[in-house]
């Protein structure tokens, strides 16, 4: 049984049926957009963008504020749609897919004008006497947005708000696993009065996503797996289109011997089980020094056993969103058990529930020979490895091809920050699960194979622009061009000797 199934219906486009991971019943269907469909969408978006880019920030923001009004009014529809598609608990559907988008959209509606206003500068050196610089943040044009299934609304609303406030139009290819919420979101933008074709959704699979990149877009904002990210990066490189690649992670948690163990245990369980573990910055590996290993593990097991799992909205840990992820979780756990790991809680599909539910799990005696500690598992699993000390924990945390985020737990905040700074990751949290994506002021993005580029906040929204310097000659300098003479060139040499041959003057000039 698959969660989205290709069905031959004789029509020219690939046709898919989407099923709920909770009931395994069909909840919708869609045709995958063809190359011609995405091409048409990009052309229409380009026309819409030309008018949109002329609007002042305040007018663009007005559309976004209206979108927030509509989201607030129709939040139950979003929650219902996301729960049907993903089987996530009501609480996570609200926090991640309603509240986070409201915050993200509001943030850029309020601040884009400040982030992107034209800056005036004076050049340094001799040029300061003759030139002025204006730095204009120009929109790029049409952004191709390709998103995954684990946060279908949050991971669309955030880049969308940034791209639009920067003056771009967006053509969006949502995940084939969660196609329905994107269509609903497009409907919300229409209800908010967005100009026709400014934000378009083209549903489809990987082939549709690949076609979108080839369809003449000016930037690709991609969030998804490492394997697909490589393909997207290659295509963008060939086409010379800028892209950001927000990819997978294998986040480590380091528990120091002086940590508040109650808080750390709670953090391990939340960090691993939030969103059924389908969180790019989810805690996938926990390293604990032997001095506090036993009490820590006991606390984690007790908390995990208390978690409710059911097929109704008030559960703590929801469904695995689709069959392929269930296969990965099960195969990593089987590999770990074969190699000597011990399961202290969960460790199997929930036999009480018909859908795709994996029990919240605690597993110990794990090591880096196991897939569970090396590849992204994306399941509700707390995997705990005993280490000698913090130095060994850090070395193991950095022993990964991935480097998205990580977290350190200690009562000594200075030590926590210092240890965190040594983690080879895009970001780090101290005494909290990975929260960087939710803190707009903190640039978000992975190192190593976890991504290329950083998103969010001032830096992120500027990534949806070309910074266009306009250099204005104020007409105060004498003309210095042709014809060349040896005297003039000797004069330049004398200048180089006098100014750059003198340590004081060279610093004064630049
Ligand atoms: P995926 O790579 O399978 O798919 C992502 C999107 O790319 C989908 O819309 C898919 O249809 C499309 N796609 C597939 N092949 C394509 C191609 N050749 N060209 C263009 N588009 C193509 O990823 P997924 O399974 O949907 O998402 C889960 C992954 O996303 C996990 O690895 C997770 O860690 C990662 N993720 C990362 C972040 C982050 O911000 N770093 C956030 C959320 C999820």
Q: Whose CA is nearest to atom 34 of ligand 1?
A: 248
User: Is the CB–ligand 1 distance for residue 179 below 6 Å?
Assistant: no
Taken in order of first residue, the domains within the chain and their CATH numbers are 3-247+457-466 (3.40.605.10), 251-437 (3.40.309.10)
Secondary structure string (H, E, C) spanning 275-295: HHHCCCCCEEEEEEEHHHHHH
Measured from the CA of 151, which atom of ligand 1 is nearest? 43
User: Is the CB–ligand 1 distance for residue 223 below 6 Å?
Assistant: yes
User: Is the CB–ligand 1 distance for residue 206 below 6 Å?
Assistant: yes
Residue 73's CB is within 10 A of a number of other CB atoms, namely 11
Question: Which DSSP state fits 128?
Answer: G
Measured from the CA of 324, which atom of ligand 1 is nearest? 25
Measured from the CA of 224, which atom of ligand 1 is nearest? 30
Taking alpha carbons only, the member of 285, 232, 272, 284 closest to residue 453 is 232
Among the listed residues 246, 284, 359, 376, the single catalytic one is 246
Cα(53)–Cα(73) distance, rounded to whole angstroms?
Answer: 28
Asked if 281 is an active-site residue, the reply is: no
Q: Which residue among 177, 180, 181, 228 is best mutated to probe the pocket of ligand 1, counting the most ligand atoms within 8 A of its Cβ?
A: 228
Backbone angles phi, psi at 259, to 5 degrees: -70, 155
Contact call for residues 38 and 211 (beta carbons, < 8 A): yes
**Residue 18 C-alpha to ligand 1 middle, in angstroms?**
18
| Tens of pLDDT, residue by residue, the chain (510 residues) | 467 778 877 778 999 999 999 999 999 999 999 999 999 999 999 999 999 999 999 999 999 999 999 999 999 999 999 999 999 999 999 999 999 999 999 999 999 999 999 999 999 888 888 999 999 999 999 999 999 999 999 999 999 999 999 999 999 999 999 999 999 999 999 999 999 999 999 999 999 999 999 999 999 999 999 999 999 999 999 999 999 999 999 999 999 999 999 999 999 999 999 999 999 999 999 999 999 999 999 999 999 999 999 998 789 999 999 999 999 999 999 999 999 999 999 999 999 999 999 999 999 999 999 999 999 999 999 999 999 999 999 999 999 999 999 999 999 999 999 999 999 999 999 999 999 999 999 999 999 999 999 999 999 999 999 999 999 999 876 666 799 999 999 999 999 999 999 999 999 988
Concatenated DSSP letters of 71-123:
HHHTHHHHHHHHHHHH---HHHHHIIIIIHHHHHHHHHHHHHHHHHSPEEE--
Cα(380)–Cα(80) distance, rounded to whole angstroms?
Answer: 22
Residue 61: per-residue pLDDT: 98
User: Is the CB–ligand 1 distance for residue 4 below 6 Å?
Assistant: no
**Residue 377 C-alpha to ligand 1 middle, in angstroms?**
14
Residue 329: per-residue pLDDT: 98
Contact call for residues 145 and 204 (beta carbons, < 8 A): no
Q: How far apart are the first and last CA of the chain?
A: 67
List the strands of the sheet with 131-139, edge to edge. Answer: 119-121, 131-139, 465-473
Taking alpha carbons only, the member of 235, 230, 195 closest to residue 215 is 235
User: Is the CB–ligand 1 distance for residue 149 below 6 Å?
Assistant: yes
Among the listed residues 81, 273, 280, 281, the single catalytic one is 280
User: Is the CB–ligand 1 distance for residue 40 below 6 Å?
Assistant: no
**Residue 228 C-alpha to ligand 1 middle, in angstroms?**
6
**Residue 459 C-alpha to ligand 1 middle, in angstroms?**
23
Backbone angles phi, psi at 45, to 5 degrees: -65, -35
In 126-260, DSSP assigns E strands to 131-139, 142-146, 169-173, 199-201, 219-223, 243-246, 251-255
Question: Which DSSP state fits 358?
Answer: B
Tokens for 321, please give them: 């969103």
Tokens for 359, please give them: 């029990």
**Residue 264 C-alpha to ligand 1 middle, in angstroms?**
30
Cα(271)–Cα(381) distance, rounded to whole angstroms?
Answer: 10
**Residue 225 C-alpha to ligand 1 middle, in angstroms?**
4
Asked if 246 is an active-site residue, the reply is: yes
Cα(354)–Cα(36) distance, rounded to whole angstroms?
Answer: 40
Peptide bond just before 483 cis, omega within 30 deg: yes
Tokens for 481, please give them: 């061009």
Kindly state the greatest CA–CA separation across the chain. Answer: 92
């Amino acid at each position: 049984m698959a969660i989205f199934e290709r069905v031959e219906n004789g029509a020219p486009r690939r046709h898919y049926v989407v099923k709920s991971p909770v009931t395994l019943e069909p909840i919708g269907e869609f045709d995958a957009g063809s190359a011609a469909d995405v091409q048409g969408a990009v052309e229409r978006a380009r026309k819409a963008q030309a008018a949109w880019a002329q609007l002042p920030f305040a007018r663009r923001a007005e559309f976004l504020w209206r979108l927030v009004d509509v989201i607030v009014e129709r939040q139950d529809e979003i929650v219902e749609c996301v729960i049907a598609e993903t089987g996530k608990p009501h609480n996570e559907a609200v926090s991640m897919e309603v509240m986070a988008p409201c915050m993200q959209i509001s943030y850029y509606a309020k601040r884009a004008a400040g982030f992107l206003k034209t800056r005036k500068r004076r050049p340094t050196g001799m040029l300061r006497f003759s030139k002025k610089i204006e730095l204009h943040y120009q929109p790029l044009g049409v952004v191709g947005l390709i998103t995954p299934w684990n946060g279908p609304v949050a991971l669309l609303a955030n880049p969308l708000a940034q791209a639009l406030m920067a003056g771009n139009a967006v053509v969006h290819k949502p995940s084939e696993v969660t196609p329905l919420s994107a269509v609903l979101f497009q409907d919300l933008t229409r209800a908010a009065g967005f100009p026709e074709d400014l934000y378009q959704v083209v549903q489809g699979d990987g082939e549709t996503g690949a076609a979108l990149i080839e369809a003449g877009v000016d930037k690709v904002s991609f969030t998804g797996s490492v394997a697909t990210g490589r393909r997207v990066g290659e295509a963008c490189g060939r086409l010379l289109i800028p892209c950001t690649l927000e990819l997978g992670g294998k986040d480590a948690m380091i528990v120091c011997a002086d940590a508040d163990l109650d808080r750390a245990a709670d953090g391990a369980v939340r960090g691993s089980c939030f969103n059924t573990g389908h969180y790019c910055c989810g805690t996938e590996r926990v390293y604990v020094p032997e001095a506090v290993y036993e009490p820590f593990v006991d606390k984690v097991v007790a908390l995990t056993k208390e978690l409710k799992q059911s097929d109704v909205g008030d559960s703590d840990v929801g469904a695995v969103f689709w069959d392929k992820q269930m296969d990965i979780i099960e195969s990593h756990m089987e590999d770990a058990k074969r190699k000597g790991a011990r399961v202290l809680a969960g460790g199997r599909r929930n036999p009480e529930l018909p859908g795709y539910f994996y029990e919240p799990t605690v597993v110990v005696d794990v090591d880096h020979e196991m897939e569970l500690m090396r590849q992204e598992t994306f399941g509700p699993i707390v995997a705990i490895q005993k280490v000698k000390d913090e130095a060994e924990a850090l070395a193991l945390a950095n022993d990964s091809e991935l480097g998205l985020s990580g977290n350190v737990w200690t009562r000594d905040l200075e030590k926590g920050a210092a240890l965190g700074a040594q983690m080879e990751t895009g970001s780090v949290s101290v005494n909290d699960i990975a929260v960087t994506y939710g803190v707009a002021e903190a640039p978000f993005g992975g190192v190593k194979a976890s991504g290329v580029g950083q998103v969010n906040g001032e830096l992120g929204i500027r990534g949806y622009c070309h910074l266009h310097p306009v250099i204005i000659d104020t007409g105060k300098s004498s003309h210095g061009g042709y014809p060349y003479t040896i005297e003039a060139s000797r004069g330049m040499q004398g200048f180089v000797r006098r100014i750059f041959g003198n340590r004081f003057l060279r610093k004064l000039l630049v």
